[in-house]
Amino acid sequence: MKSKIGVYICHCGGNISDYVDVNKVREAVKDIDGVEISLDTMFACADSSQTQIANDISEKKLDGLVVASCSPKLHYPTFSAVAERGGLNKYNYVHANIREQVSWAHSDDKPGATEKAIKIVKAAIARVKESVSLEPIEIKAEKSIAVLGAGVAGMRAAKELADLGMQVYLIEREHFVGGRISQLDYLCGADETGKELVTQLYEKIHEHPNVTLFTGAEVIKKGGSIGNFKIKVKITPRYINDTCNKEELLKAIEVCPVEVDDDFNFNITKRKAIYRNYDSEYPQKPTIDNKNCTRCGECEKVCSSIDFSQKEEILDLTVGSILAATGFDPYQPKENEFGWGIENVVTLPQFRRIINMCDDKLVYQGKEIKNIAYIYCVGSRQVDGDNKYCSRYCCTATLYTSILTHKKYKGIKSFHFNRGIRTYGKQEVIYDEASQLGDIFLQSYEYDPATVEENGDKTTVKIKDILTGGQELEVDADLVVLVTGMEPRNDCSIGDVLKIPKGRDRFYNEIHMKLRPVETVIDG
């Protein structure tokens, strides 16, 4: 039975103390038998508070510790470590959650919340009295990791983990690596293209003895726990064997009669059922689109590398940890949303592909483009839709795109219909550069966005502009570019397989946005 217990109650900067009478809680428990110290603190997790608690444990020889604060998922490890620094076995520490379970749940009833907090802290004291010192056990952990997604983030993570001596299984659902970055030409803040960056990373992982790459692969089942995860990986065949002849494969692509929308170019062009997105793509073997291939046999007539006998494989892997780098999808506008469906209305990702495909003149649908209207926050900061969040990259991406068009083509005029430009930190210099190039910025009211109307060969964008005191202005544009935000992958079930919880925005939920931003509640 513990006889010298320290009790510390956190205000959490008002998150708790605005709804719970912290002083009353402290007074209610200070005279309980065995309580040596009963204190309140503004931020228990602050370095100064942690130092005070550790010193109290050491100086007063405390044999039990209770901290009443926020969720144990967030700070149980913090105060366990504080207990050990003070010389107390961490299993003699009990965490009382009076934020999520009390102040946030009962913000409309301060007296009731205070009474509940008192009961929770008393229960924690009763529990710590009966606690027993324990020693941690060690489990054998596999020195391997599965990295899901071979975009830039996944490849870079795979390379760095492999450098640390880990065996890395890099699992990419598509048949080619690179993800979204390979769809971009020049990158903001870099002197290279997306394809060049992908090439550099691919060469590093391809040469690394600790990295095994699987393309056309998807995790379909997960079992086990941290240090010993068992995963099943389904590998879809390319239908092209390893002895492929480049000239024959190019001929096979040429003779293929099937044409489908090219999702690499965001459906503004067509591709064949046997395809490669671009010449230097990795791995350099083309693949056959099984969903659209008719098995007509034309490719087999000119290419001996075609092998339709290949079957799906199921691979069993055991790994110590799993890293999810599964990427995002650009928002897909709804019909008539900011003119979506009109011939010369495109999304920003589509526009980047158009720029990439044009040489001396910026041309779309056979017409030269001079006046460009960018409409911001399409699919982000939605008033009526589900995506209330700011995607945080669209403003910068749009301004950089506008600068690219000025540098590559002459006589371009750019109009930015926005709801407040958000170029974070040093990215403000991009906004300044676009302004100096003559770009015009028009800002709409929150609940009165710009409208798009078809007007013969041109498209008219109308706005009630805050910056001119609410004047109604309109611009005739050759091309309207919808600045679409990011969404979680619509066709990605990996979150369900891994049982990763998702937030209100449908992205994976981190433990804490600031303190543990890349960890999930699933250990490992």
Domain span holding position 389? 330-487
Residue 468 is part of a domain; what is its CATH number? Answer: 3.50.50.60
pLDDT digits (tens, 9 = 90+) for 136-180: 888 889 999 999 999 999 999 999 999 999 999 999 999 999 999
Enumerate residues 6+ apart whose C-beta is below 8 A from 46.
none
Share of the chain above pLDDT 90, in %: 76
Which CATH number belongs to the domain containing residue 50 in this structure?
3.40.50
Task: Please check whether residues 120 and 259 belong to one and the same domain.
Answer: no
pLDDT grade, residue 492 (50/70/90)? low
pLDDT digits (tens, 9 = 90+) for 407-416: 999 999 999 9
Residue 235 lies in a domain: no
What number is the average pLDDT over the span 69-86? 92
Asked whether residue 348 falls in the same domain as residue 473, the answer is yes
- Give me 345's structure tokens: 């209305």
Q: Tell me, yes or no, whether 427 and 478 share the same domain.
A: yes
- What per-residue confidence (pLDDT) applies to 497? 87
**Is the distance from CB of 331 to CB of 387 less than 8 angstroms?**
yes
Please count the structural domains in the chain: 3
For residues 476-491, average pLDDT: 91
> Which phi and psi (to 5°) does residue 519 adopt?
-105, 145
Residues 404 and 294 in one domain: no
Domain end position, chosen among 99, 129, 159: 129
Q: Which residues contact 133 (CB under 8 A, 6 or more apart)?
A: 89, 91, 92
Q: Could you tell me the CA-to-CA distances from 311 to 143, 248, 301, 314 in Å, in that order?
A: 30, 22, 21, 10
407 Rama class: left (phi>0) / alpha (psi -120 to 50) / beta = alpha
Alpha carbons 40 and 480: distance in angstroms, whole number: 58
Structure tokens at 520: 């999930």
Rounded distance, CA 192 to CA 356, Å?
Answer: 14
Given 311, 342, 360, the domain boundary residue is: 311
Residues 414 and 299 in one domain: no
Helix (H, G, I), strand (E, B) or coil at 244: coil
273 falls within a domain: yes
The confidence band for 491, taking pLDDT boundaries of 50, 70 and 90, is low
Whether residue 163 is contained in a domain is answered as: no
262-276, 360-374, 418-432, 502-516, range with the lowest pLDDT:
502-516
DSSP H/E element including 409:
none
Residue 25 Cα distances to 5, 16, 113, 114, 125, angstroms: 16, 12, 10, 7, 13
Is the residue at 251 inside a domain?
yes
Phi first, then psi: what are they for 180, rounded to 5°?
Answer: -70, -30
Name the DSSP letter for residue 439: -
Q: Is the pLDDT score of 244 beyond 80?
A: no
Q: Are 416 and 428 in contact (CB under 8 A)?
A: no
Q: What is the mean predicted confidence (pLDDT) over 107-120?
A: 95
Q: For tokens 């339709």, name the residue.
A: 308
174 falls within a domain: no
The 10s digit of each residue's pLDDT in 215-230 is: 999 999 999 999 899 9
Same domain for 359 and 459, yes or no, is yes
Residue 427 covered by a domain = yes
Tell whether 347 and 478 lie within a shared domain: yes
Do 347 and 262 lie in one domain? The reply is no
Model pLDDT, residue 187: 86
Residue 161 belongs to a domain: no
Checking if the pLDDT of 28 tops 90, the result is: yes
Examine the fold and report which residue of 281, 311, 341 is the final residue of a domain before the chain moves on: 311
Using CA atoms, how far apart are residues 412 and 430, in angstroms rounded to an integer? 17
Sheet containing 345-347: order of strands: 345-347, 479-484, 371-378, 413-418, 440-443
Q: Is the pLDDT of residue 191 over 80?
A: no
Q: Are 290 and 348 found together in one domain?
A: no
| Domain assignment of residue 461, yes or no | yes
24 band by pLDDT with thresholds 50, 70 and 90: very high
| Whether residues 458 and 338 fall in one domain | yes
Same domain as 292, residue 400: no
DSSP string, 249-293: HHHHHHH---EEE-GGGTTSSEEESEE-SSTT-SS-S-EE-TTT-
pTM above 0.85, yes or no: no
Query: Does residue 307 share a domain with residue 371?
Result: no
Phi/psi at 416 (5° precision): -110, 105
Nearest residue to 121 via CA among 42, 57, 40, 60: 40
